[in-house]
Chain A
Amino acid sequence: MAQTITQKILARAANRKFVEAGESVWLNVDILLTHDVCGPPTFDIFREKFGPGAKVWDPEKVIILPDHYIFTENEHARRNIDLLRQFAEEHDLPNHHDVGTDRYKGVCHVALAQEGYNLPGTVLFGTDSHTCTSGAFGMFGTGIGNTDAAFILGTGKIWEKVPESMKFIFEGQIPDYLAAKDLILQILGDIGTDGATYRAMEFDGPAVYSMPMEERMTLTNMAIEAGGMSGIIAADSVTEAYVRERTGKPYEIFNSDPDAEYHSIYRYKTEELEPVVAMPHSPDNRATVRSVQDTRITKSYIGSCTGGKLSDFVMAAKILKGNKVSVPTNIVPATVEAAQSLETEQFDGHSIIKILEDAGCTIAPPSCAACLGGPSDTFGRSEDNDLVVSTTNRNFPGRMGSKKAGVCLASPLTAAASAITGRLTDPREFIR
């Protein structure tokens, strides 16, 4: 029987030939991801439920990437970093990327890709809702809570309901004033924040396959903002080249059958789309940037798992080069690798970091930083009635710190153009 890519991957993990949308199946998990916010409570549940002598099911398959509250004096946040370290030592976990060591990587979803943990055809569960990001590699990735993570930690298994799939096809090519962020915000405006609840969002079409991996990850990252269980893009030669540069581990490429069943199919003519923004306080509150161009902003923020990759900063630099920002503009590379690449990657004869610094941006060390507010000393946290234009993924009330502040989600092109003018600005004003 015909199956979607998601059904095929879950069937493999369930040791079955076929799984049906809507049935609950027990899966063998390939990778469990956790971080500093949810790792310590997960480990507490693991100890309590499996007992003091319990062993982790497979130490190689547990990836610990502290990233949320790293550069803070908050004693409870710092304690969480220590608790990760203790557990990793106690269980001899080789894939703990500890803070303050040269193994520290930064934001987990980007680090998973860069460190070669993402492999086509595999099943990843993580204690973070944006675990769906890894679906850009033709794999199944989804978020879970601490209890489910503790269950996996002891058994290597978890139940999941096989999702129906929705397909989003982007025809044509992406114009230089659009980014993957505009595409996903377009979808969110069309289907709403519960438009894909309990479903897989499959992205397809020439515009999607013309994107580098980092941009594909921006699409899959925000599947959860539509309530999606996962986002997925089948692996192609671009995926394989990226993976092979980083790991020699085996993988298996799956594709949806042409006659597979979908809950719904959406088609977009990519050239006809325009830069969009999600206005406060919901990721589906879409407006074209042009229609809200008189909106004054107080800050610009370029960072996070969805908007702090090298490709995001290159886009921002193309707009910012030769210009000055007129509002505080905070740059937070997702990972150490992204931060280092700012020094080596060039645009128009200058390093990206030089362009960003010359424009007046402030650059912070890699972590989740103010994407989700965080402790009071978190870099870039919104204050009072701030209105922040941000490349992050959520603009719920109070999300970036202050309960009175608002967040406008936008592409790095729009965030950079707006930083220059101090109002929401269509990047076409700066692209000649």
Chain B
Amino acid sequence: MDTIIQGKAYVLGKNIDTDQIIPAEHLVYSLSDSEEVKMYGKYALSGLPIGEAGLPEGKHPFVKDGQFKSEYSIIIAGPNFGCGSSREHAPFSLKVAGVKAIVAESYARIFYRNCVDGGFVIPYETAEQLNKTVLTGDELKIDIENNTITNLTQGVTYTLKPLGDVYNIVMAGGIFAYARQENLINS
């Protein structure tokens, strides 16, 4: 796995629930058929109220009309990101849209587990209220080895909380790869 993640920021508020990440009516598509999978990219974060879509000003759809990928690959959010349902379709849809990492003040448990165990996106926590300073569209760089995030547009570096217990699962690429690596299941 690369130890540097670089991309444009998409900034969100607090309590972003899984219905906003992927509305329930779209949960009917296959997660393994390559054509249907694109629909999860198309509808990623489509449940956001338009005023909340890409802070501070809002009105930046995460994925443009008619497209399946987002121009933003790092999500910056406040506390309790991913609250609500257990749908793994949520981190999956962010991955399909091109998200590599989320940096939030905190996460809901099931969303956090799904990110890690499914190996979809890296859920970083930070003590900083980054969604108050980072602007949607800023160029960001995450250094996984050193637990830092740099806002290249603004020239500021912040500290991320270490991944801790889940670091090895993230680095392995998910719970199955980790379990094989540790001989918890037979390959």
Seen from chain A, the residues whose Cβ lies within 8 Å of a Cβ on chain B are 24, 37-38, 40-41, 44, 48-49, 68-69, 74, 76-77, 79-80, 126-129, 131, 143-148, 151, 154-155, 159, 161, 193-194, 197-198, 224, 227, 229, 282, 372-376, 394, 396-399, 401, 403
Contact partners of A68 in chain B: CB under 8 A: 27
Q: Are A194 and B15 in contact (CB under 8 A)?
A: yes
Chain B residues closer than 8 Å to A131, beta-carbon distance: 86
A-B contact count (CB 8 A): 134
Instruction: Please give the distance in Å from B84's CB to the nearest CB on chain A.
Output: 6
Main SS class of interface, B: loop
Residue ID in chain B nearest A50 by CB atoms: B185
Say yes or no: A147 contacts B88, CB within 8 Å: yes
| Contact between chains at B108 and A143 (CB < 8 Å) | no
In the bound complex, CA of A299 to CA of B19 (Å): 21
Tell me whether B174 is interfacial, beta carbon within 8 Å: yes
Q: What is the distance, in angstroms, from A403's C-beta to the closest C-beta of chain B? A: 7
Known contacts A194-B79, A398-B23; A74 and B28 CB within 8 A of each other: yes
B85 & A129 in contact (Cβ 8 Å cutoff): yes
B: number of interface residues (CB 8 Å) = 44
List chain A residues, Cβ under 8 A from B139: none
Instruction: Decide yes or no: A148 and B85 within 8 Å by CB, A227-B109, A229-B109 being known contacts.
Output: no
Say whether B113 faces chain A, with CB atoms less than 8 Å apart.
Answer: yes
A/B interface sample: 11 pairs, CB < 8 A: A24-B165, A49-B176, A80-B28, A146-B88, A147-B114, A147-B174, A197-B107, A224-B84, A229-B109, A372-B19, A398-B47
- Mark contacts of B66-93 with chain A using CB atoms, 8 A cut-off: 1 yes-contact digit, 0 otherwise: 0000000000000110011111110100
**Chain B: minimal CB distance from A372 (Å):** 4
A81 CB → nearest B CB, Å: 11
Cβ contacts B9-41/A at 8 Å (1 or 0 each): 000000101011001110111111000100000
Interchain CB contact (< 8 A) of B19 among A41, A48, A398:
A398
In the complex, A229→B83 CA distance in Å? 12
A394 to B87, CA, bound (A): 15
Are A396 and B32 CB-contacts (below 8 A) given A147-B175, A197-B109? no
B110 A375 Cβ-Cβ under 8 A: no
Encoded as 1 (CB less than 8 Å from any A CB) or 0, chain B from 105 to 124 comes to: 01111100110011100000
Do A41 and B88 have beta carbons less than 8 Å apart? yes
A44-B31, A44-B32 given; 10 more Cβ-contact pairs under 8 Å: A74-B28, A131-B86, A145-B113, A145-B117, A146-B88, A147-B117, A148-B175, A373-B25, A396-B17, A398-B23
Q: Which residue of B has the minimal Cβ distance to A128?
A: B86
Q: Which of B17, B47, B85, B118 contacts A147 (CB 8 A)?
A: B118
A193 touches B80 (CB 8 A): yes
- Complexed CA–CA distance, A68 and B26 (Å): 13
Cβ-based interface call for B127 (8 A): no
Q: What B residues does A74 contact at CB under 8 A?
A: 28
Min Cβ gap B186→A in Å is 9
CA distance A211 to B10 in the complex (A): 46
| A146 contacts B175, C-beta separation under 8 Å | no
Q: A227-B83, A372-B85 are in contact. Are A198 and B109 (CB under 8 A)?
A: yes
Taking CB atoms, residues of chain B closer than 8 Å to A161 are 165
Residue from A41, A193, A401, A403 within 8 A of B31 (CB atoms): A41
State how many angstroms separate the Cβ of A36 from the closest Cβ of chain B: 9
Nearest CB of chain A from residue B82's CB, rounded to whole Å: 10
Residues in B whose Cβ lies below 8 Å from that of A155: 184-185
Q: Say which residue of B25, B84, B108 sits within 8 Å of A374 (CB atoms).
A: B25
Closest beta carbon of chain A to B107's beta carbon, Å: 8
Shortest B43–chain A CB gap in Å is 12
Is the beta-carbon distance between B80 and A148 smaller than 8 angstroms? no
